[in-house]
Structure 1
Amino acid sequence: MNTAIEPAPVAASSTGQPRVDHPSLSVVIPMYQEIDNVEPMLKRVHEGLAQYRGAWELICVDDGSRDGTGERLRTVGERYGAHVRVIRLRRNFGQTAAMQAGFDAARGELIATLDGDLQNDPADIPRMVEELLARNLDLLQGWRRQRQDAFVMRKLPSKIANALIGKVTGVALHDYGCSLKVYRAEVIKEVTLLGEMHRFIPVWVAGVTAPERIGETEVAHQARRFGTSKYGISRTFRVLLDLLSAFFFLRFGSRPGHFFGSIGILFGVVGSILMAEMLWVKFGLGQHIGTRPMLFVAILFLVVSIQFLTTGVLAELMMRTFYASGEHTHHRIRWQSDPAHADWRHST
């Protein structure tokens, strides 16, 4: 299997020779029902990366479009060369699955993503690569400060979502929803995207690298010219559910027993206090407690406590089995001082 990137046009030096002094780059663009944007999008990507000083490839993922987007991508892509690769999913799986397919296929040392609706400017990518390398980041997130979208349908839900995500996760960024990002491939490929996780990619990346290695930079944004938006105000409610999952896996992914156990202990303490009061009323004061609502509340709290505690134990067993398989580790090594093949024995 060929894992090298097919050569794409790169910037030339004063001697006329190609300058390849930047890491190889894979540009991943998920598309759904964007047939009118295919040709201008491919043109702008090539214009924007014409001066990129390294090998690059373009991976377009058609997320099961029914308007001919996949066929148009293949036809137009053939005009540019083998560095344009098209992946067509069997049906519409969603933007997260499309991005994961692109990440899996990417062969570059860096990966850039952007939407296929022409609202992101591909010309920002070379500058973002320079900034990511200069700041020694693992992820550089775009920030659409001058966003060209309707306030109620797009800006308002985005502002609410950004505030919630930053408050709950502690990874504060201005624009989580901007698809224009640049990653180090070795880092983003440590993350497996499922469900609607593309909204929380910086949060998931913070689970495999230090938060200070995640940055943001202002990028250009333009109004949509063709097609219709796939987002609306309803997205805010889905974000709330996704945010709960992100918070749980970020804080308690490797120790779920602490999450369920804390809730179980809380219910257990409250239930024990209520039950102790009932016992005092029964045996200390000699009063009848069989019909008192507090007795049933105390029993309920104790039962719920036992359920949460046992759920925590089962979750811990599942997590330990998961990591004991040897295919996954909770820690990530950035570098180590001694080569793996070095002789560890020492004599004097």
Structure 2
Amino acid sequence: MENNIKLSVVIPCFNEEKNIARALRRTDEYLLNKNISGEIIVVDDGSDDRTAEAAEALTPELKHSLRVIGLGGNYGKGAAVRRGVMEASGDYILFTDADFSTDISEMDIFLGECERNHDIIIASRSLAGSVLDPPQSFFRRAIGTICRNMVSLLAVKGYKDTQCGFKLFRRKAAKEIFSHLKTDGFAFDVEVLVLAGKLGFSVKEL
């Protein structure tokens, strides 16, 4: 059967009750305004709050399909993203953090780049012109810089920021990479890029 979903948006969540409604409304609004056929997949990684209930409560309001998947425990962000990606059916698959520190409007550029030239587009908080909303604290920026430098030294070279939670994939790339992914925790982003290189997928950092 022919797939008619262009974009799947995967949102991994752990205790995101305060953020998830805004994220869902913003995603739904973007898809509607851009006339993009899409689906939204929320993966609840064993939240202690009412993240799943808050997401499900938005179902009647949204114009696009919403699925809320519970992992039944706290397995890690990598596990949550992997489950969402493997459930997704869009031609393109985006995973994004629920706090929307990178707004979904960046998809205007990301989708064009992915359609024309690359298998994977990743956001960077380090490249010139990058804007975070809300801005990160000094402590969080410092920790992020240390982590990125360690990653560059130890695992993958050539990227300014491996950890930004906003990455877009062509479906083939997403399915192949995440079917091999072993890392369940926050370091999964690094393994994603390592696997992309090993499997021959092109990556662009914006």
Work out the CA distance in 2 between the residues paired with 1:178 and 1:216: 11
Show structure 1 runs of 4+ deviating over 4 A.
Answer: 2-6
Higher relative contact order (CA 8 A, sep 6+): 2
2:184 corresponds in structure 1 to 195
Please state how far the C-alpha of 1:71 moved relative to its aligned partner. Answer: 1.1
Q: How many residue pairs align between the two structures?
A: 195
Work out the CA distance in 2 between the residues paired with 1:207 and 1:78: 42
Please state how far the C-alpha of 1:163 moved relative to its aligned partner. Answer: 2.0
CA contact (8 A) 1:49 1:125 kept: no
CA contact (8 A) 1:47 1:123 kept: no
Unpaired segments of 5 or more residues in structure 2?
A: none
How far does the alpha carbon of each residue in 1:192-250 deviate from its partner, in whole angstroms, 9 at most, with x for none? 3333242312222212125xx21111xxxxxxxxxxxxxxxxxxxxxxxxxxxxxxxxx
2:136 corresponds in structure 1 to 149
Q: Report the CA distance shift for 1:128/1:82 in structure 2 as closer, same or farther (over 3 A).
A: closer
Task: Choose 1 or 2 for highest CA Rg.
Answer: 1
Select the structure that is richer in helix: 1
Please state how far the C-alpha of 1:76 moved relative to its aligned partner. Answer: 0.8
CA contact (8 A) 1:25 1:56 kept: yes
1:62 aligns with 2:44: yes
Using structure 1 for the length normalisation, give the TM-score.
Answer: 0.52
Q: Report the CA distance shift for 1:99/1:170 in structure 2 as closer, same or farther (over 3 A).
A: closer
1:165 corresponds in structure 2 to 151
Using structure 2 for the length normalisation, give the TM-score.
Answer: 0.85
Percent identical pairs in the alignment equals: 27
CA contact (8 A) 2:148 2:161 kept: yes
Kindly provide the amino acid, as one letter, of the partner of residue 153 in structure 2. K
SS at structure 2 position matched to 1:79: coil
Work out the CA distance in 1 between the residues paired with 2:59 and 2:35: 22
Q: Report the CA distance shift for 1:92/1:122 in structure 2 as closer, same or farther (over 3 A).
A: same
CA contact (8 A) 1:26 1:107 kept: yes
The residue correspondences of 1:217-232 to structure 2 (distance < 5 A) are 217=206
1:80 corresponds in structure 2 to 62
1:106 corresponds in structure 2 to 88
How far does the alpha carbon of each residue in 1:170-205 deviate from its partner, in whole angstroms, 9 at most, with x for none? 431111111111111111211233332423122222
Find 1:174's aligned residue among 147, 154, 160.
Answer: 160
Please state how far the C-alpha of 1:126 moved relative to its aligned partner. Answer: 3.0
Work out the CA distance in 2 between the residues paired with 1:186 and 1:74: 29
CA contact (8 A) 1:5 1:83 kept: no
Kindly provide the amino acid, as one letter, of the partner of residue 120 in structure 1. T
Please state how far the C-alpha of 1:120 moved relative to its aligned partner. Answer: 2.2
Unpaired segments of 5 or more residues in structure 1?
A: 7-23, 218-348
Find 2:172's aligned residue among 172, 186, 192.
Answer: 186
